[in-house]
Structure 1
């Protein structure tokens, strides 16, 4: 999917006009926070994992947390294994650096981590390495057609 396809997808929710495009890359949490002038924690990073039966699980988290493998396994019943680079586009519909919770293939399931709930608004990517949108967590849940809220993260500096 391209940023154009995500923009079209977000029209369904009357959100397309809220998308922001940047001249510089926003492909990482650090770069996105810099481009938007916000703290890294408010960047809603979309992490892609192998799911059961060849499907893809997308987990959207706050920018300052990491996946807790034990919580992930308890939630999904499988080990957290991120997509290999060559599988990213095939399973998410987006290029690496532009993976987002919008306009994904039918077999892709989106989950939002509770770490996003501490913010009034967050900034997920919009299908490219230089785009984002500001949404309330509830709006993100709706626009992402998320399955449910989950608790699968821990602080980035937390021990294993």
Structure 2
């Protein structure tokens, strides 16, 4: 199970005890916000996109949408999301629990600037009923992020 990959990953960092699991689903931004009792914007959603034969992950605030022009300008390709089967195959997590933790080394992670307006955010932890509260600096470090990018709209 993908949450076990994330738990093992966080165990090595000494923070596995920070993972929160819920009875209710947190598979969507809205459900996660309800389960965590936070505003939806603080849910750090992880989006999976095709890039040549591989994929990239963009972690963004829950109230954003991808800006296609910004995405293409930043990454040099059209924003084309992976299918649920491709996400599971390439990232190792199923839709609803996709996160930037415990993933293959060749999957590159980018964080969207929309997250920086919050002191802490809540990304998933590999399952549809889990999350972890992290500062943006912790998220950047633990996700092994490549860089901060500006590829979203709707939050300004």
**Residues 4-153 of structure 1 aligned to structure 2 (within 5 Å):** 4-52=4-52, 54-153=53-152
State the Cα deviation string for residues 39-97 of structure 1 (Å, max 9, x = none): 00000000000012x11100000000110000000000000000012211001111121
SS at match of 2:116: helix
Contact 2:84 2:94 in 1 (8 A): no
Q: Flag structure 1 segments of 5+ consecutive residues without an equivalent.
A: none
Give me the TM-score of the superposition, normalised by structure 2.
0.97
Contact 2:9 2:102 in 1 (8 A): yes
Give the total of aligned pairs. 156
User: Stretches of 4+ moved more than 4 A in 1?
Assistant: none
Give how far 1:29 is off: 0.1
Give how far 1:16 is off: 1.0
SS at match of 1:12: helix
Give me the TM-score of the superposition, normalised by structure 1.
0.94
Question: Following the alignment from structure 2 to structure 1, what is the Cα–Cα distance between the partners of residues 51 and 127?
Answer: 23
